[in-house]
Amino acid sequence: MKMRILVAPDSFKGTLKAKEVAEVIEKGIRKVFPEAKVIKVPLADGGEGTVEALVGAVGGRILTREVTSPLGEKIEASFGILSEGATAVIEMAQASGLSLVPPRKRNPLITTTFGTGELIKAALDEGCKKIIIGIGGSATIDGGVGMAQALGAQFLDREGKEIGFGGGSLGEIVSINMEHFDPRVKKVKVVVASDVNNPLCGEKGAAKVYGPQKGADEKMVKILEDNMAHFAQMIKKFLGKDVRDIPGAGAAGGLGAGLIAFMDAEIKSGAEIIMEASHLEEKMKGVDLVISGEGRIDEQTLYGKVPLRVLKIAKKRNIPLVLIGGEVKEKGILYKEGVSAIVSCVDQILPLDKALKNARTNLMNASEQTMRLIKLGCFLR
C-alpha cells in the first residue's frame, strides 16, 4: 500500500527541533510503509524554530550577528532572510530569550530586549522591507524599551538622562525622544508572530502572568506591573498610541506593545504565518493521513497551538489526523475536536531527564507503532 502522509509537527521544546521531529517520524513511517510518499512540513508558532521553519518552507539564508544578551553581554544571534531577499525573519529568543539566562540570574527588572533591536537593525542594513518577528520565549519584561533604544529611541528620566536596561527602570521615564530613531523603520512592514493574547497590564498582563517564569518574585511582579502601567501612559502621552489593552501587547514581556508603538507592527498568529508561507493546505491535497504533534499535548493544545491549526485544515479536507507527543494529557477533549488518534512517545515510566535524553528513539518507536496499528486496521478492513 503506497500511502501519502503529511508530517507537520511543531518542535519538541528542549529536545528536538520541528525539522528533526519530522525526520524522525518519517523514519518510523518507513519501517512499516517503506514506499510511502512522505511530505514533511516543519512548523512553529512564533517561538523556537520560527526562523528555521520559514527559511525551510520558502528558501533563503541564515545570517549571524553579534548582539547584546538579556544581561547586557555580547553574544551571537541568527536571523533569516527569505529567498526573495526583501523579508527578514527574527526570533527574539535568539537575542533576548530565557534560555540565554541561567536560572540563578533570571531577573526581569534588569533583562533587556536591546539585542532584539540590534537584530532588527541588522535586517534593515540588509535592505529588508518586511520583518517577521517571532516573540516567544523571552527573558524580559521591559515593554520593548531595549529594542527601541537599539534603534535610537531615548527614554529620559527627570535629570534628562537615559534610563537603564530592564523593566525595573520603566517607572523612571518622564519623556520619550524619537529624534534619533532609525528613519528606515517607517518604510518597513513589521509583522509580529505570536499566539499570545495577553494585554500589557492587569491580571492577565505581562508582569502578573509571565513575571514568575522569568525570575520575578511577588515584590518584583508588583514593581513590574506598576512600571508597565506607567510605560503605557508615557507611550500614550508622547506617541499618541494606547497600547495598554491591545490583545497581544503583553506578549514577550510587553515587546508586543513596544513593536506596535514604535514600529506600527501588526500581530498575527505565528502558526498561521508559517502555515501560509509553507502552503500547508495546498500540500494536503491527495493526502491519506496527517501527523502532527508537540512535546506536550494537553488542553493548552486547543488554544491556537500548531496541532490545533493543522487539525482545522485536515478536518476541512476530511483527512484523519494523528498527534504524537512526549507528554500526553486530556485526550478526550482533543478527540471531541476531531483528532483521530493520540500517541505518547513514552511507553514506560521514566524519569524526565531520561525520557528527554531518549526523545529521538522514543519518537521513532511511537511513529513506527502508529504505522503498525494503521497497517493492521487496513488489513482488518
pLDDT tens per residue, range 178-225: 999 999 999 999 999 987 889 999 999 999 999 999 999 999 999 999
* 244's grid cell: 495598554
Query: Considering only CA atoms, which of 253, 227, 232 is closest in space to residue 136?
Result: 253
Task: Please give the class, per CATH, of domain 50-268.
Answer: alpha beta
Predicted pLDDT of residue 1: 59
For cell 547586557, the residue is 72
Predicted pLDDT of residue 290: 97
**pLDDT > 60? residue 355:** no
**pLDDT > 80? residue 14:** no
**Alpha-carbon distance 134 to 56, whole Å?**
16
Other C-beta atoms closer than 10 Å to the C-beta of 294 total 25
**Alpha-carbon distance 345 to 218, whole Å?**
37
Q: What is the pLDDT of residues 36-69, one digit of tens each?
A: 999 999 998 887 788 988 898 888 999 999 999 9
Mean pLDDT across 72-80: 97
Name residue 289's beta-bridge partners.
5
- Name the CA radius of gyration of the chain, rounded: 22
Contact 278, 41 (CB under 8 A): yes
Q: How high is the mean pLDDT of the chain?
A: 92
Query: Considering only CA atoms, which of 155, 170, 188 is closest in space to residue 265?
Result: 188
Domain 4-43+284-380 matches domain 50-268 at the CATH topology level? no
**pLDDT > 60? residue 349:** no
Quick one: what percent of the chain has pLDDT higher than 90? 75
35 DSSP 8-state letter: T
Q: pLDDT confidence of 333, banded at 50, 70, 90?
A: confident
Predicted pLDDT of residue 123: 97
In whole angstroms, how far apart are CA 379 and each of 4, 224, 366, 368?
A: 17, 61, 20, 17
Give the domain ranges of the chain.
4-43+284-380, 50-268
**Alpha-carbon distance 163 to 151, whole Å?**
15
CA angle in degrees (0–180, nearest 5) for 168-169-170: 100
**Alpha-carbon distance 72 to 214, whole Å?**
16
**Alpha-carbon distance 81 to 93, whole Å?**
17
Name residue 296's beta-bridge partners.
327
Pairing of strands 60-68, 37-40: unpaired
Q: What does pTM read for this prediction?
A: 0.83
Predicted pLDDT of residue 13: 76
Residue 1's contacts (CB-CB under 8 Å, 6 or more residues apart) are 33, 375, 378
**pLDDT > 60? residue 354:** no
**Alpha-carbon distance 337 to 17, whole Å?**
26
In whole angstroms, how far apart are CA 219 and each of 184, 192, 226, 256?
A: 39, 30, 11, 24
**pLDDT > 80? residue 352:** no
* 124's grid cell: 534593515
Helix, strand or coil for residue 87? strand
Predicted pLDDT of residue 12: 87
Mean pLDDT across 263-276: 91
Distance of CA 80 to the CA centre of its chain: 15
Helix, strand or coil for residue 84? coil
Contact 259, 251 (CB under 8 A): no
**pLDDT > 70? residue 304:** no
Q: What is the CATH number of domain 4-43+284-380?
A: 3.40.50.10350
